[in-house]
Each structure stands twice: as structure tokens, then as C-alpha cells.
Structure 1
Amino acid sequence: MQTAASYKVLVVDDDPDIVELLQYNLTREGYEVSVAENGKKAIDVAQSVKPDVILMDVMMPVLDGIAACRQLREMGDFRHTHIIFLTARAEEFSEVAAFEAGADDFITKPIKPRALLSRLAAYARRDSQQEEQEKVIEIDGLRIDRNSFAVYKGDEKITLPKKEFELLSFLAATPNKVFSREELLNNIWGNDVYVIARTVDVHIRKVREKIGENHIKTIKGVGYKFNTD
């Protein structure tokens, strides 16, 4: 079972005061903490320590957080790492860009340590629950293996980032049931994680690009369903 003591967290920010604040609170809670001052250094440190969670600023010198996230997601070792952006930029376009790059969450500054710790605990709980769901879903020409986070379409193996995989497997577990964006946000990201409804649309589009357009159907004005009709 995932706990704080078994979680590795990489803190990436060019503001030493924020790094010190987060490192202090996370270490006190039992997390194993590494730090980096920019996106380029974050990639180097991540390859060394293999963190479970990366808390990363967006605006940084050398390599910004969006670019660093995109590069990490392209590496096989970090497809399922939780990447949470920390930023003072609260505009919606910044949030959409973050999720387009592969982020799991988006937290605006100033950071409230207790709220952040609660959010990390929620990720640990969901990871633990998913570890217990050792089953394979076979549906509509797809085989969705929850153990390996892999999707097979015939003989082709399709590897999805963690949130895309969770979204697909959640919909496929109850085929033809329509879920609203709010229901999908609550079940995939959790009640204690703030993301906009557009996040679901971004992830659905990415899943469709990889597995085909026909599996997930949009129900206009309502939400989405895994389609077997």
C-alpha cells in the first residue's frame, strides 16, 4: 500500500524559499524529497531518483515546467508519475497548456502546505486502490490491463499516460453508461483536486488519438460514454 513513507517527491522551483517550505513540510510528513531549480535539472534528478510525484513550477529559467513535463512524459519511466504544476499564473490558458503537456494537477500560488499534503495523500490512496484492482477488461476489440497500465488493440500495445489510462478504464468498466464531466473529474482526479471541466475534454481527445475515434462517444450537453453500440 502506498504511504507517505514510500512516496518519493521531486520539488522543482527556482524560488529557494518555496523549495525550502515544501521540502520542510514534505520531509516532516515522511516523504522522501529531492529538489531541482529548473526543468532541465528536474529531468536529470528524476532519471536518478525515479520520483512518484513531481511538484513543478511553470515559469523557470533554462527549461520551463511545460517543456520539462512534455519531455518527461515522452520517457517511458515517467508515463505514470504524478506531475503537479505549482504556479502563480491562474489564467485558464496556462492550465490547459499544463494538461496538454501531460500534467495531472495544477495548484496556484501561494501554496498552502496543509492543502498540498491532503492532495498528495489522496493520490497515495487512489494508487493503493488501483493496485488492488488486478483485473483485465476486454471490450470492443480492446484489452485493458490494469496491472501493467497497458492497452492492447489486437497485437498492438498502446501505452497511455496514467490519467488517460484511468479515464479509459473507468469508462470501459461500465460500457454505454454516460458520465458527466463532473463525475469523471471526481472519479479520476478526486474531489480534493481542482481542475477545470476542459481537462476531461483534453484527455478524451488524446485517448481517441491513440485507440481510435469510435470507442468513446460524446453525448452532447451531457458527457461521455464507452460505446459498444
Structure 2
Amino acid sequence: MELIYVIEDDDNIRDLIKIALEGFGYEVSAFEMAEDALRHIESDQPALAVFDLMLPGMDGLTAIRRIRKNESLKDIPILILTAKDREFDKVAGLDGGADDYMTKPFGVMELAARIRSLLRRSTRDQAESNELNQYCLNLNKKTREVHCDGMKVELTLKEFELLQYLMENHNKVVTRDELLNHIWGYDYDGETRTLDMHIRTLRQKLGENGGSCIKTVRGVGYRFIKTEE
């Protein structure tokens, strides 16, 4: 069950939203003040937050900006629900970090529809951020699975990490020292045969199409590029 934060100082409106969203199958934590919500939001990690702007104490826009500056919270979808209906206020709210803006009076059906839309978008963005798609290769960082031309490729942890780093830096020359420091986690001043052996095995496992994307830059390192380049 997805957790929704509701920050609204009007008791009647707060209760209305809470009851309505619970009726749509969401878990709801409701707060009168932004400070109370901010004390719990990092540990709760709600799926979405609904903010009024005019709140006692810290105003809603200030709270939203604080959330967007927090690395662990910055991707939480935020919907502003407020009586402020001027274009200036809407622009300020959206530029301040909100993903959507609704004005009062409002209908609970529309509110629920907007929440569903934001949650769908958030889920899609998260899925896309977990995947790297380059040419014939698909790498999923969350499941640690790799597919080449639609076929699953079994890789060791180090092979997976090597491929991920090269794909994330596609078209860039990555030095051997950079790869050793990033994958093995230490400054390496000896031979690079360990790295070269892993690259050779990785190429073999990826087959002709996938393996040929990993190019050797003589005397420097490797580059992940299109096969035809």
C-alpha cells in the first residue's frame, strides 16, 4: 500500500483528503504543519506528498524546496493543493519543486486522478533510471541482469560492474587506472593483467555484437562505442 503525505492546516480539508485517499486504497499520514512532516518524511519515504502553501510556521513552498535539496527525498512526487490561484503562484510553486498544482475548491476524484498520474510517472522514471540501454545491450542495475540481443548473459559481479561503468561512460575513453580504482577500489600501480583478463572474458560472454562494443584504446584503456564505429 502506497503511503501519501498530506500537509494541510485546515482540519476539515485535511480529514476530507485523508478519508478520500484511504477510500482509494492509499495509506495516508496527515500533518497540520510542515515541520512535523519534515521530521518524519526521510524515515517514512512516502510515495507522494500533497502540500498546502499557506501553513502555520514554515510555508509549504519553503518545505518543498528543502525536500528537493535532500538527496534521499528529491525524487518524491509533490502536488500543491492551495487556494492561491494566481498564475504567479502556480509558476512559483512549479519552479519551486512541485510536480503538479491544484487550486481550491477541488474535487476528490480529480485529486485522486492527478495522484495516480504522478505515481505512474514516478514509477516509470525509476524503472528507466535503473536501466542502461546501449545498442544491443540492456543492463538493469537493480536486478543486476544483462541482456544482449534479448538473450540473458550471466556475468560475475566484477564483470557486471565493469560493463555498467563502461556503458555509463559510453563514447568516452576510460583509463585502466580509473577502472581499477572504481571497480576494485584501490590505487593500482602494478600490472593491469587482472583488468585485461576480465575485459577479455566479458567480451566473450557478450558475444560478437555486444563484445565488439568494448574497444581497446592502446596504451590508455577502453571505450564503449557503437559496433560500427
TM, length-normalised to structure 1? 0.56
1:71 maps to 2:66: yes
**1:165 maps to what in 2?**
none
- Aligned-partner Cα distance in 2 for 1:123–1:115: 12
- Aligned-partner Cα distance in 1 for 2:109–2:97: 25
Measured after TM superposition, the shift of residue 123 of structure 1 is: 2.4
- Aligned-partner Cα distance in 1 for 2:126–2:65: 26
1:59 maps to 2:54: yes
1:104 to 96, 99, 106: 99
1:33 to 28, 32, 37: 28
Q: 1:35 is paired with a residue of what secondary structure?
A: strand
**1:163 maps to what in 2?**
none
Q: 1:76 is paired with a residue of what secondary structure?
A: coil
Measured after TM superposition, the shift of residue 35 of structure 1 is: 1.1
Contact 1:36 1:45 in 2 (8 A): no
Measured after TM superposition, the shift of residue 73 of structure 1 is: 0.8
User: Residue 12 and residue 33 in structure 1: after superposition, are their counterparts in 2 closer, same or farther (change >3 A)?
Assistant: same
User: Residue 100 and residue 25 in structure 1: after superposition, are their counterparts in 2 closer, same or farther (change >3 A)?
Assistant: same
Rg larger for: 2
1:9 to 4, 11, 14: 4
User: Residue 89 and residue 77 in structure 1: after superposition, are their counterparts in 2 closer, same or farther (change >3 A)?
Assistant: same
**1:92 maps to what in 2?**
87
Measured after TM superposition, the shift of residue 77 of structure 1 is: 1.5
Q: Deviations over 1:125-171 (max 9, x none)?
A: 33444455453367xxxxxx9968xx97979xxxxxxxxxxxxxxxx
Unpaired runs of at least 5, structure 1: 139-144, 156-229
Measured after TM superposition, the shift of residue 48 of structure 1 is: 3.2
**2:132 maps to what in 1?**
136
Contact 1:131 1:147 in 2 (8 A): no
- Aligned-partner Cα distance in 2 for 1:50–1:98: 21
User: Residue 68 and residue 128 in structure 1: after superposition, are their counterparts in 2 closer, same or farther (change >3 A)?
Assistant: closer
- Aligned-partner Cα distance in 2 for 1:44–1:58: 18
Measured after TM superposition, the shift of residue 38 of structure 1 is: 1.6
Q: Deviations over 1:170-201 (max 9, x none)?
A: xxxxxxxxxxxxxxxxxxxxxxxxxxxxxxxx
- Aligned-partner Cα distance in 2 for 1:81–1:103: 10
In the comparison of the two structures, how many residue pairs are matched?
143
Measured after TM superposition, the shift of residue 44 of structure 1 is: 1.2
Unpaired runs of at least 5, structure 2: 143-167, 175-229
**2:148 maps to what in 1?**
none
Q: Which contiguous aligned blocks of 4+ residues in structure 1 show a shift greater than 6 angstroms?
A: 145-148, 151-155
Measured after TM superposition, the shift of residue 12 of structure 1 is: 0.2
Q: 1:84 is paired with a residue of what secondary structure?
A: strand
TM-align CA RMSD: 2.8
Select the structure with the greater relative contact order (CA < 8 A; seq sep ≥ 6): 1
Contact 2:77 2:119 in 1 (8 A): no
